[in-house]
Amino acid sequence: MHPAFSVVFFTTATGAGYGLLALLGLLGGLEFIPADFWLGLAGMALALGLIVAGLLSSTGHLGRPERAWRAFSQWRSSWLSREGVASVATFIPAALFGIGWVFFGEGGGWVAAAGLLAAAGAVVTVCTTGMIYASLKPIAQWHSRYTLPAYLIFAAMTGSSLANALLQGFNMGSSAVLAFALLATLAGWGWKLATWRHNDRLEIPTTANTATGLAGGTVRSIEWPHTEENYLLKEMGFRIARKHSAKLRWITQALAFVVPIVLLILAFMAPWPLASMASALAAVSQFAGMLVERWLFFAEAKHTVTLYYGRA
């Protein structure tokens, strides 16, 4: 029993990919960073590569991956379907921007317009991903005001760390991008701590009594509704020991926030290529830390249906 790694990787990779794509679309299109062929090629390849890898990994979570295309038809009512539509639609301006910025070496004009549309599409896609979880009322840890902003903050945080690492790697470091990555990491850390504090104090009013509508005593389950565990119990009824949860929270804070903050500060003060090495290590550490954070995001969530299995 454990949260599916395919979904953990999907949310981490696509968040970083869309964050990087949005920054490249804005900064490259508006000519804040130069239209360098190798920088542009590496940046777009990394951004789109993370997005595609994340989207492909998410199909591994489906019972029938060959039917994934059917999810696009439910965009009127499903945030999952809206996410699929938004992710595909974003590739159109992203491709146009990449062609103009990377291969034609241009910024401004239609390239800037395509970059802005790609950035807007990236933000919309991240919002739809966040709403998939924020809209689930049976999971109190997700159905809160903290979930959607977390997706946006973490996308900006990981995306800016990658953008800074790329710029530093090509010796085109920008103090503004580096500062933004540092501030976004601090914001992400603060938001994560606030989320954990909120979830730890969360009082869920639903009990076995209210779920069944029975009164006059304490309702308890003496037998499961079925003989084998289903996906809800495996992924949304996962039980993690408090000591393990505390340890993983410390690992998350160290890898995703503390180490990147220290390395980004070092990048501010150090000359190139030491600044480049520090920035690359910051991005790698942060991505690893966010994988742990996303695993905890799923592991600590509890679906109300677990009440029917005798789990308080």
pLDDT for 31 equals 87
Q: Note whether 64 and 7 are within 8 A (CB).
A: no
Summary mean pLDDT of the chain = 86
**pLDDT of 4-16, one tens digit each?**
777 888 899 999 9
Which residues are 139's β-sheet partners?
303
How far is the CA of 136 from the CAs of 14, 131, 220, 304, in angstroms?
A: 21, 8, 25, 11
Nearest 5°: the CA angle 47, 48, 54 is: 95
Q: Note whether 158 and 46 are within 8 A (CB).
A: no
The whole-angstrom separation of Cα 24 and Cα 43 is: 8
CB atoms inside a 10 Å sphere around CB 90: 25
- SS3 state at 139: strand
**pLDDT of 158-186, one tens digit each?**
999 999 999 999 999 889 999 999 999 99
* Bond preceding residue 149 cis, omega within 30 of 0: no
User: In this structure, what token pair is assigned to residue 291?
Assistant: 């994988």
pTM of the predicted protein model: 0.88
**pLDDT of 183-214, one tens digit each?**
999 999 999 999 999 988 877 767 667 767 77
Would the pLDDT of 239 be above 80?
Answer: no
Would the pLDDT of 66 be above 90?
Answer: no
